[in-house]
Amino acid sequence: MATYDAERVGSAPWLLTGPALLVFLTLLAAPLVLTAMLSLNLFSDTKGVIPVYSLANYLEVFGDDYFHEIFLRTGGMALAVTVCAVLIGVPETLIIARMRAPWRSLFLLVVLGPLLISVVVRTLGWAILLGNNGLINQALQALGIIDFPIRMMFTQFGVVLALTHVLVPFMVIAVWASLQKLDLQVEQAGLSLGASRMTTFRRVVLPQIVPGILSGSIIVFALAASAFATPAIIGGRRLKVVATAAYDEFLGSLNWPLGAAIAVLLLIANLVIVVGCSRLAERRFKHVFE
């Protein structure tokens, strides 16, 4: 990729990347380090942040059932969102890939376009649909299918549904990218050699797109586990996840050190999952990545 230009290297790359690096070091790296340090401080309601260093906040998060529940709920919902995204996103990508000229790019845009629309707007749409007086309940009641509204707002079902909607485009992107390396004509070869559609899919198509499904799953899981707006609006106050819990500690109870500890744990968990799973997937599917 890079062209090596012996006589010109010198200080040029440092001068060119310097401004961006300077901004990132002072305004990204430093704040992150300060947050990690803050997470080791103590807090009291009367004195505020106490500048001593201890692991008390981490011990509290690890020892308290309240936080166990929040972390488990967040992981569980992120897993559910990932499974849903695989189940609907993978077939849809294959269907779009099989379409012909104008439809193919048109529907790709329809599926991916919402990524650029604010997550507040997309979540608002689900809040309007899912409420007790929401459009889904109104329609079901008008049709006489149900007598009483089904409760969908402030439930895990609602959060998983809305988050799947918000994140499924990332799965489509990942699978689409892996499909670009695969000529779907090979399916024809499989079929003409006498394999059934199922066998062709399982033995020819699937092995090629598994890396795409895996990298899509990693992205969807990581984003679902750290999502804020959708769980906050659809889940409400009671159905807390890690991101909203950190928010409440910071801006609600003002216990900044504890909020910082939750944030640090979220960041570490996120990096472990993203980096760890990518490594694992790359090793397992080396032949496809190369």
Q: Helix (H, G, I), strand (E, B), or coil: what is residue 181? A: coil
- When binding is defined by CB under 8 A, the residue of 48, 54, 55, 118 that contacts other proteins is 118
Contact flag: residue 125 with other proteins (CB under 8 A): yes
Distance CA 23, CA 28 (A): 7
Tell me if 127 sits within 8 A of 234, measured CB to CB: yes
Contact flag: residue 192 with other proteins (CB under 8 A): no
- When binding is defined by CB under 8 A, the residue of 14, 53, 66, 289 that contacts other proteins is 14
Question: Minimum CB separation from other proteins for residue 156, in Å?
Answer: 18
Question: Minimum CB separation from other proteins for residue 191, in Å?
Answer: 7
- When binding is defined by CB under 8 A, the residue of 65, 143, 185, 198 that contacts other proteins is 185
Which tokens in the block code for residue 168? Answer: 């499924």
Distance CA 261, CA 60 (A): 10
- When binding is defined by CB under 8 A, the residue of 78, 214, 260, 281 that contacts other proteins is 260
Shorter beta-carbon distance to other proteins: residue 4 or 148: 4
State the DSSP code for 144: T
- When binding is defined by CB under 8 A, the residue of 83, 274, 277, 288 that contacts other proteins is 274
Distance CA 231, CA 67 (A): 16
Contact flag: residue 52 with other proteins (CB under 8 A): no
Q: Helix (H, G, I), strand (E, B), or coil: what is residue 67? A: helix
Question: Minimum CB separation from other proteins for residue 236, in Å?
Answer: 9
Residue of 206, 169, 176, 180 whose CA lies nearest to 96:
176
- When binding is defined by CB under 8 A, the residue of 67, 71, 176, 221 that contacts other proteins is 176
Mention every residue, 6+ apart, whose C-beta is less than 8 A from residue 32.
267
Shorter beta-carbon distance to other proteins: residue 36 or 56: 36
Q: Map tokens 């929401």 to a residue.
A: 134
- When binding is defined by CB under 8 A, the residue of 55, 66, 72, 98 that contacts other proteins is 98
DSSP secondary structure letters along 28-39: IIHHHHHHHHHT
Contact flag: residue 199 with other proteins (CB under 8 A): no
Contact flag: residue 271 with other proteins (CB under 8 A): yes
Tell me if 42 sits within 8 A of 50, measured CB to CB: yes
- Residues 204-233 close enough to bind other proteins by CB under 8 A: 222, 226, 228-229, 232-233
- Residues 155-174 close enough to bind other proteins by CB under 8 A: 162, 165, 168-169, 173
